[in-house]
Amino acid sequence: MLRYTLRRILYALPIMLGVSLVCFLLVHIAPGDPLVSVLPPDATEALRRQMAELYGFDRPLPEQFLRWLARALGGDLGTSIATARPVASEVFRAVGNTVTLAAFATAIGFTLGAIFGFVAGYFRDSPVDRAASALAVLGVSVPHYWLGMVLVILFSAQLGWLPATGAGPGGSTEWAWDWEHFRHLILPAVTMSVIPMGIVARTLRALVAEILSQEFVMGLRARGLSEFAVFRHVVKNAAPTALAVMGLQLGYLLGGSILIETVFSWPGTGFLLNAAIFQRDLPLLQGTILVLATFFVVLNLVVDVVQTALDPRIRRA
Amino acid sequence: MAEPVLEIRGLEVTYRRGAERIRAVAGLDLTIGPGEAVALIGESGSGKSVTLRQVLRLDPERTTEVAGSIRVCGEEVGKLDAAGLRRLRGGRVGMVFQEPLLALDPVYTVGQQIVEAIRAHEPVSRAEARARALELLRLVHVPSPERRLDAYPHELSGGLRQRAMIALALSCRPRLLLADEPTTALDATVQIQVLLLLRELQERLGLAILFVTHDIGAAVEIADRIAVIYAGRIVEEGPVRSVIRSPLHPYTRGLLASRTEGALVKGRRIAAIPGSPPDLARPPPGCAFAPRCSLALEACSRQVPKLETPVPGHAVRCLRAREWAASPA
């Protein structure tokens, strides 16, 4: 198991290298001069060249990449062109906010999704199953930015119960564990939880129904195990697949949703990416994408390792 | 005679599938005494596995109608509540399935599953249950049992898996072992070993065995008595020697004639029974075998023949049985 984990980590390294290369190149392939947005329209050619030199844009691409990579490894992602602040601190603050949002959204989504999925799978073709399945389909199909707006209209504009935008009172961009901040979190978290809820519920329903139809379940009953013990076996059989699906969903949520964060002005990575794209802030864009991509690689790694620990058939294969 | 371990009287099982009603078992009587091994022989869809599952009430009750009586050690199975049913399953009655790879939970080790079964029935510690699991693996002759205890089902060979399955079924010292074609999925050489093991366990533990199979050869190896089932009814029942040497029912004769063992002579056809079993959604009014029977009389398709005993201890459900009994084939 330890050897497998180490090997998986080793495999992740070339993937990371490739990811960083793609991050770097994609941004450079995109049209537009990043300096246009910071320089005054009447800037002299000399000033433009001076700025380009300062940011290193005048050097050949491979050299730019290697320098960027070397600094990134040391935790320095460069300086934002638009705000002149270090990219790393901008990204990490945004990541913190996105993680907070994603954590609450997954807590809601996975809990409800798991409950709906298990109930629907266990009582297949019953009214309970139909209700849970309908809710799951709705969750997957409803566009979440639309749902977000509807929730804002209902709970903020009409009822006035919850704030419509922002991460805290007075435009606060730092998360704090207090009621005011929590109130700001509810609407975006609920909106964000709907998709993983639907996907987890649908996957689990199919999974549980499939496991229940297997002969070993009759075997378990034939041994006189209680329904609760049978349920435990079903859970353990469902766990590897369920975790893989949940891991991927968590990855999507941690990546931040540009749409949801924009609708709710939530200062997370999605919001940051959106701003970086519009301002052609190359270092910020590269840094954000790199951090998000790293997230996915690490998350896949964790899911793989956990899944292997749970399912003996993968381990020895 | 001691109280029978299993007593089935007039068992009828009907499955509802949509508007269709499939009569899988149509009035079945069977008695198994303590330590007795009975083989229930029949082809696919004859109702033999259904009967076995009914002993533990394993079919979903929503879609299954059951009539008649099944008593295990004098206790009426149909009247048991959930707790009583749990005590019966695995406690008094153990069950072995056809394909152990499918019937064992793939993500639990063999040891975990045996320990779990023991602890579901008896208040023993984990360590005690594990020691007993080890003992059980020894009982069924699993080599290096300490290692096999921590193996997952997919890591064992087919024969070892079936032995582990048998150990699991015996984990709470049942009085009756239900075996649903336990050798069908195995290699021929392994089949014999498993049959010998079952025979040995029967003698050592005084275990009663209900052995369901379509393989007459396997039945002869294991059973004291043979019951032949066709379309949900027992058509012939008697001691092994008597049934094999002088079968009374035309269906049994057909089955014996269609055996390939030792009869595969080049150029000779395998004697098969013509036709196919009746549609259980629309069972014929008379003897279910009559449409395929070369000896059928007109009366055969009018009413179901009664079970008669033309030879002591050897019962048959055929209008013409007395003729054969008088003049053996």
> Over the stretch A86-98, which tens digit does the pLDDT of each residue have?
888 888 888 888 8
pLDDT in the model for residue A67: 83
Contacts of A222 in chain B (CB under 8 A): 56, 58, 89-90, 95, 97
pLDDT of res. B263:
54
Per-residue pLDDT at B133 exceeds 90: yes
Helix residue ranges per DSSP H, A76-160: 87-122, 127-141, 144-151
Supply the pLDDT for residue A34. Answer: 67
| Residue A252 clears pLDDT 80, i.e. is over it | no
pLDDT at B21: 87
Q: For residue B212, what pLDDT is reported?
A: 92
Q: Is A107 helix (H, G, I), strand (E, B) or coil?
A: helix
Taking the C-alpha atoms of residue B208 and residue B119, their distance in angstroms, rounded to an integer, is 23
Name the average pLDDT for chain B: 87
Q: DSSP assignment, residue A138? A: H
Nearest-CA distance A125 → chain B (Å): 13
Is the confidence at residue A35, as pLDDT, over 80?
Answer: no
Of A219, A225, A311, the CB nearest to B103: A219
B68, B9 Cβ separation under 8 angstroms? yes
Does B293 have pLDDT greater than 50? yes
pLDDT above 70 coverage of chain A, percent:
92
Contact B102 A311 (CB under 8 A): no
The answer to whether the Cβ–Cβ distance between A216 and B102 falls below 8 Å is: yes
For residue B317, the distance in angstroms to the closest alpha carbon of chain A comes to: 32
The per-residue pLDDT for A135 is 84
Q: Write down the domain spans for chain A.
A: 87-315
Residue A222: closest C-alpha in chain B: B89
Mean pLDDT score, B312-321: 86
Specify the range with the lowest mean pLDDT, choosing from A229-233, A240-244, B165-169.
A240-244
Q: What percentage of chain B has pLDDT greater than the value 70?
A: 95
With beta carbons under 8 A apart, name residues in chain B contacting A237: 105-107
The pLDDT, as a whole number, for residue B147 is 92
What are the two backbone dihedrals, phi and then psi, of residue A121, each rounded to the nearest 5 degrees?
A: -70, -40
Picking from A81, A100, A101, A205, the residue whose alpha carbon sits closest to that of residue A144 is: A101
State mean pLDDT over A227-256. 84
Local confidence band at A32 (pLDDT 50, 70, 90 cut-offs): low
Contact A224 B152 (CB under 8 A): no
Predicted confidence (pLDDT) at residue A317 exceeds the cutoff of 50:
no
pLDDT tens for residues B231-283? 889 999 999 999 888 888 888 888 888 776 655 566 666 777 877 888 888 88
* Average pLDDT score, chain A: 82
Flag whether pLDDT at A64 surpasses 90. no
Whether the predicted pLDDT of A264 surpasses 60: yes
Nearest to B89 among A221, A310, A316 (CB): A221
Mean pLDDT over residues A101-114, rounded?
Answer: 89
Residue of A nearest to B178 (CA): A222
What is the 3 state secondary structure string of B104-150? CCCCCCHHHHHHHHHHHHCCCCHHHHHHHHHHHHHHCCCCCHHHHHC
Q: Nearest residue on chain A to B152, judged by CA atoms?
A: A312
- Collapsing DSSP to helix, strand or coil, B55 comes out as helix
Mean per-residue pLDDT, A53-80: 80
Span A87-315 CATH architecture: Orthogonal Bundle (1.10)
pLDDT mean over A193-221: 89
Does residue B84 contact residue B123 with C-beta atoms inside 8 Å? no
**Per-residue pLDDT at A16:** 86
- Give A-chain residues touching B116 at CB under 8 angstroms: 223, 225, 229
Structure tokens at A25: 């190149």
Q: Which residue of A has its CA nearest to B88?
A: A224
Q: In this structure, are strands B225-230 and B314-316 parallel, antiparallel, or unpaired?
A: unpaired
- Model confidence over A144-155: pLDDT tens digits? 888 888 888 888
Q: How far apart are CA B260 and CA B71, in angstroms?
A: 37
For the segment A180-200, the average pLDDT, to the nearest whole number, is: 84
Q: CA-to-CA distance for B39 and B48, rounded, in angstroms?
A: 10
Nearest CB to A224 within list B103, B106, B120: B120
Q: What is the pLDDT of residue B1?
A: 55
- Asked if pLDDT for residue B295 goes beyond 90, the answer is no
Q: What is the CA radius of gyration of chain A?
A: 24
Q: Which residues does chain A have within 8 Å of residue B90's beta carbon, measured at their own beta carbons?
A: 222-225
A160 pLDDT more than 80: no
